[in-house]
Chain A
Amino acid sequence: MTQRLTLLLVFLFSVPIVAQQSTATASSERPDAATLLQKIRDLEDRVIALEGQIRQLKGQPAAAAPAQPGGTPESGTPSVAPAPQGQQVPSGAVPSTGEGVIQSVALGGAGGSAAKALNPDMSMIGDFIGSAGHNPFRPSPSFEMHESELGVQAIIDPYARGDFFLSFGEEGVTLEEGYITLTALPAGFVAKVGKFRGAFGKVNTMHNHMLPWVDRPLVNNNLVAGEDGLNDAGVSVQRIIPAPRGLFLELTGQVFRGDSGDQQHPLFTSPRKGDVSALGHLRTFKDITESTNIDMGASYSQGHNSAGANFLTRLYGVDATVRWRPLRRSIYHSFVGRGEFIWSQRQQLPFEQRAFGFYTSADYQLRRRWFVGGRYDRSGEAEDASRIDKGFSAVLTYWPSEFSQIRGQYRFTRYPGNIDAHELFMQVMFSLGAHGAHPF
């Protein structure tokens, strides 16, 4: 590839020079300084354009490949594919100089020396937690490499992108998420297929490293399947709904196999194939000013629970977020206030359990690297709504850079029967490589 590019450069350089010489000798007239200067400028422009094309070529060669359907490597016609701008020269030049480059682009094969450029974005996020204090119901180890999240992300083709997040515990690996997002569907639909976090409220959609706390709120632990959350294999379809006056409305519909949660935090199970779970989410967003906005959502989900055949759990959720970030000082100060309210109806014997829980939180960015926050928790337990857990947390976070953060959290929890737990957590998170940005 580099050789071809050099050849190309040499070729393109030589053409104008030859042309210049021939015109000069033919007219036997000395070109004045202005035209020469102009010519140098033009040449400079062409070099810069070429450099740009090389960067494009190195950066995203995948875009041109699918447009050239298999075979005919020696066709040599540059006009076959409506290649994106900036790739026209290379796509014309490649078939004539090197064979076996374009046709080797098959599913999963990068081919040629462009292979490395086609590597997906890789990232690893480490999440280390140390804790002190005693909690009889939710014990935490003194030190724990809580999670190592490997992200592998890339644009698959002009029609889709793929995202994988593998979550390594100290032992064992789980596929936290792995899905394809179809971005080129007609009529503004966006679809996801794979395993992913369900669009139930806010916290459920967040990876651990996106949370403003070390832990997840009590209500998510008690009612929405704990840390893993409502996270299952299935299909998601979402679309923005046109609304007047700059109001953002988006509807999401998801169908899952029907397995969410683990033994400690059971939510949905699907012993039979037909026991799929479903989820609907409506999100609205409105800018109040350029620095303040309100984000609200309503969620519903249902699936079969482990109480017996045909016993359903229904979840209703409402979430609201207020954000403030002054644009002129956006890296120094910000505020996020958030609340999620979740109702659970779990059919079981002898009675259906109707549990309710919520959290409210506030996080303020004091300075460029310092954040302070608090959270109030209160939640019933899904299988016994009369048992109510309460608690609050205070959090202080320091960011040495965008790629690492250190967090301390004090957590108080009062379990039924006035059993109190006081805990201190210290978390260190660090990010390696290119981790794609998460949705707002």
Chain B
Amino acid sequence: MERTTGFDSVTALILATLILSFILPTAAQAKKLNVVTSTTDMAALTQEVGGDKVNVESIAKGYQDPHFVEAKPSFLLKLRQADLLISVGLQLEIGWLPPLITQSGNPRIQVGAPGYLDASQFAEILEIPQGTVTRAEGDVHPLGNPHYWLDPDNGRRIARGIAGKLSDLDPQDAAYFQQRFQDFDKRLTAAEQKWDSEMQPYRGRKLVTYHRSFPNFAKHFGLDVIGYVEPRPGIPPTPSHTLELIQLMKRENCKVVLVEPYFDLKTPQSIGRQTAAQVVVYLPSVGGEKQVTNYFELFDYDIALLIKAFQVTQ
């Protein structure tokens, strides 16, 4: 760097930060792995397999639209200490995560570095657009639907992937992570059997969701999503589309409208009134309500809501 007269103070400041920076990072090298995830669901799964060998923190809150998180500098404070960053991928976080990664000053979590994990690689992805993709279809995700974690089988696959990554980063605790995964797998399989049998009577039931955030859940439990409140992903409801949707719901005898907690309820409620449908605010993510603190409780909560709605509209 070149210098001219008159800004020795700037140089001094830069030198001071240099010195500071060499003292401080060593303190951060605690035993636990610092994991930052983009969403709470990834955090919940990481917590399952990481146990007390990891510190996990999510950037987005469970009740927040994961497409539109603000890339606040306070998140940089978390990212600069992270050993591992887990993203949902498929461009869900394209609007906010890339600048955070770039500005974090943390080489470990850069895309392509060992501390960056795109969890979508482990999961079954639905609605991958075929052929040409244009934005006339709204805010489409060209790599497929990024709301893939609401399928317990995908949860298992992601957890397995995360356990593998944690083992790579912390080989000494590999056996611990594998054992945690086995345990999670067992509990999940048991829970899955319970959920499957609870949902069994409602297979083939029709519903409408606000955003396309439900395909993996619907596929797993055999539900039929016949339409969306949004005319196109990311485009707010329009009167003409709402009318069409109401007619479709009447024709198909669809009585349930699912809404993510971050959308306005006005349009769904008017649809509900005109079709005698139940409007249900379901949770797409862990932490959407205070009592939903882990991956199991997320399904417990949503399945209870759905069953109630299906029973009322029998």
> Do A and B bind?
yes
Residues of chain A whose beta carbon lies under 8 Å from any beta carbon of chain B: 45, 48-49, 51-53, 55-56, 59-60, 62-64, 82, 84-86, 155, 157-159, 161, 181, 183-190, 235, 237-242, 246, 248, 250-251, 253, 255, 274-276, 278, 280, 283, 285-287, 290, 293, 295, 302, 312, 323, 325, 327-332, 368-369, 401-403, 434, 436-440
Q: Specify the main secondary structure of chain A where it touches its partner.
A: mixed
Q: Say whether B262 contacts A331, CB under 8 Å.
A: yes
Pick the most buried of B2, B24, B165: most chain A CB atoms within 10 A of its CB: B2
Please give, as numbers and ranges, the residues of chain A lying within 8 Å of B263 by CB-CB distance: 331
Our pick among B113, B120, B262 for the contact of A184 (Cβ within 8 Å) is: B113
14 CB-based A-B contacts, threshold 8 Å: A48-B157, A55-B143, A84-B113, A237-B14, A238-B103, A240-B77, A242-B20, A251-B14, A290-B61, A327-B64, A328-B261, A330-B70, A368-B264, A401-B135
Whether a CB of chain A sits under 8 angstroms from the CB of B17 is yes
Please give, as numbers and ranges, the residues of chain B lying within 8 Å of A278 by CB-CB distance: 4, 7, 10
Cα A109 to Cα B122 with chains together (Å): 30
Please give, as numbers and ranges, the residues of chain A lying within 8 Å of B22 by CB-CB distance: 187
Cα A235 to Cα B65 with chains together (Å): 37
| With known contacts A49-B157, A327-B61, A187–B73 Cβ distance under 8 A | no
| With known contacts A53-B121, A287-B74, A437-B71, A159–B110 Cβ distance under 8 A | yes
Please give, as numbers and ranges, the residues of chain A lying within 8 Å of B118 by CB-CB distance: 56, 86
Pick the most buried of A183, A248, A368: most chain B CB atoms within 10 A of its CB: A183
Q: Say whether B111 contacts A155, CB under 8 Å.
A: yes
Q: Which residue of A lies closest to B237 (CB)?
A: A368
Give B284 Cβ to nearest chain A Cβ, in Å: 13
Whether a CB of chain A sits under 8 angstroms from the CB of B300 is no
5 extra interface residue pairs, beta carbon distance < 8 Å, beyond A158-B111, A251-B14, A329-B262: A48-B157, A52-B121, A82-B114, A285-B72, A323-B70
Our pick among B98, B161, B164 for the contact of A436 (Cβ within 8 Å) is: B98
Our pick among B6, B10, B235 for the contact of A401 (Cβ within 8 Å) is: B235
Q: Say whether A438 contacts B24, CB under 8 Å.
A: no
Residues of chain B whose beta carbon lies under 8 Å from any beta carbon of chain A: 1-2, 4, 6-7, 10, 13-14, 17-18, 20-22, 24-25, 61, 63-65, 68-74, 76-77, 80, 94-96, 98-99, 101-107, 110-114, 116-118, 120-125, 135, 138-139, 143-144, 157, 161, 164-165, 168, 234-236, 261-264
| With known contacts A248-B76, A369-B236, A439–B103 Cβ distance under 8 A | yes
| With known contacts A401-B234, A440-B71, A328–B116 Cβ distance under 8 A | no
Q: Say whether A438 contacts B99, CB under 8 Å.
A: yes
Q: Which residue of B lies closest to A290 (CB)?
A: B61
Give B5 Cβ to nearest chain A Cβ, in Å: 9
Q: Say whether A330 contacts B236, CB under 8 Å.
A: no
Q: Say whether B10 contacts A188, CB under 8 Å.
A: no
Give A187 Cβ to nearest chain B Cβ, in Å: 4
Our pick among B18, B61, B96 for the contact of A437 (Cβ within 8 Å) is: B96
Cα A238 to Cα B76 with chains together (Å): 13
Q: Say whether A242 contacts B24, CB under 8 Å.
A: yes
